Amino acid sequence: MFHFEKLKPEEVAWLAGLFQAEAQFYIDHRKRSKVADPNYVPPPPVPAVKIEMVEKDLMERVAEWLGQKVAVQNRKTTAGNTVYRVNLTARQKVKVFLETILPYVYGEKKRGEIQELLDICDEYDNWLAAGGRSQAARHAARMKAQRDKE
């Protein structure tokens, strides 16, 4: 169980509002293998959420509630303020977090972005059920053996 699942409904609603207004819901489409192998089905892209703000105490609270760390960004705002970031990229954690805040999110656009990430989470679950993880391990072993021969 993730920490945010234990929050009070008003705390979840507050988080949902903050994330709806300030967070970026996105898909990490980076390819995990650059070698084309017709026998290998790679996992779906990674769903992710990040929030950046200059209010350190607020970001520390968000990080605590999400069970994450606050990352200090190397860049400053035009006013010279430090920027703090909290990322969520672990697939299961992203899925449960999005399911937790979705009932409190208003507006079709944001709800659509969240639903798209949840659909990717379901694709990953289906990939796992179809033996994707063991297939990925075999693929990695083949790639390592190929590199070792070179």
Q: At 35, is the pLDDT very low, low, confident or very high (cuts 50, 70, 90)?
A: low
- Joined together, the tokens standing for residue 69 give 């760390």
Q: Which residues pair with 84 in a beta bridge?
A: 53, 72
* pLDDT tens by residue, 80-133: 999 999 999 999 999 999 999 999 999 999 999 999 999 999 999 999 998 888
Q: How far is CA 100 from CA 14, 21, 39, in A?
A: 12, 16, 37
Residue 33: pLDDT band by 50, 70, 90 thresholds?
A: low
Question: Per-residue pLDDT tens for 63-79?
Answer: 999 999 999 999 999 99
Taking the model in full, what pTM does it have? 0.86
